[in-house]
Structure 1
Amino acid sequence: MTTTNPNSQKPQRTIFFGLDIPFLDHLGVVPESAENGKVRISYVVKPEHTNSFHVAQGGVIMTLLDFAMGAAARTASNHQLGAITIDMTTSFLRPSLGKITVEGRLLKAGKSINYCEAVALNEAGEITAKASGTFVLRR
């Protein structure tokens, strides 16, 4: 998803399902799919994103879960402006190492509020963390 402009040596940033999100680009998140209330992204844990136990820092994993849920909320209505997190609950089930895949999905779309959930999976397909959240689409 990162491309280089032939007139410039500076690489362009990754676009995340229609949005420019510098922090996700900085982390190295890869957008994979987003449609019909379901989103899939991936990320390889980098040493500079680990904690004292040498596993992914919890805030990084929460960022991925949060984005996947917000993006899932946007896909149901093809909303281009983004989603704002109202609340989010996260559970960490095991350490996150290596390549992490995050799958977010819309559970219920209301008139203004959307309910979503997401899971972070390790390379073995085990859930390392899960989250649920409430989002409002930006107007």
Structure 2
Amino acid sequence: MKEQWFKEQADQSGSLMRLGEDAKTTFWGYIGCEVVRAEKGKAVICLEVRPHHLNLFGLVHGGVIATLIDNAMGLVVVQSCPDEKTVTAQMNINYLKSESAGIITCEAELIHRANRTLTLQGSVFGDEGDLLAWGSGSFRRIK
């Protein structure tokens, strides 16, 4: 049993590493997202706040927060439906607190799966652990 678990973890780690490498040339890489942890139904990603992530007030732009939530939830969906194409169908975000520097982290998890849709939630935290934003979204499996 333990050997199978370790094999599954190694396989998942290897596929996540390949996925991470492939993503570097996409919007994911341009923004600067990094995988912290990924497991069945959950993922944690982060990014280091850079000047291009800020708005005119010197705060992390809401679009960066939205992207982080979308990417973290998307990573969970990719793990849940590895051989299928999926798209974000809907997303809702509540912005709770601002951040201007440091590393921001998003934790996402699958909360419901139906035949063609997956529903997830994601929370973004600042360097000090403050909840910056909370969001939910649904992803559609396309055929």
Shared fold (TM-score greater than 0.5)? yes
The alignment covers a number of residue pairs equal to: 125
Q: What pairs with 1:1-139 in structure 2 (closer than 5 Å)?
A: 16=19, 20=23, 22-77=26-81, 79-97=82-100, 98-139=102-143
TM-score by length of 1: 0.80
Unaligned runs of 5+ residues in structure 1 are: 1-13
What secondary structure, in the 3-state scheme, does the structure 2 residue paired with 1:134 have? strand
CA 1:59 to 1:51, structure 2 compared with 1: closer, same or farther past 3 Å?
A: same
Could you tell me how far apart the structure 2 residues matched to 1:120 and 1:133 are?
14
Of the structure 1 ranges 33-42 and 113-122, higher mean CA displacement relative to structure 2 is found in: 33-42
The whole-number CA distance in structure 1 between the counterparts of 2:138 and 2:116 is 10
- Superposition CA RMSD, Å: 2.0
TM-score (norm 2): 0.78
Aligned with 1:65: secondary structure? helix
How far residue 136 of structure 1 moved from its aligned partner, in angstroms, is 1.3
Distance between the aligned counterparts of 1:17 and 1:118, measured in 2?
19
% identical equivalent positions: 28
Distance 1:16 1:119, change over 3 A: farther
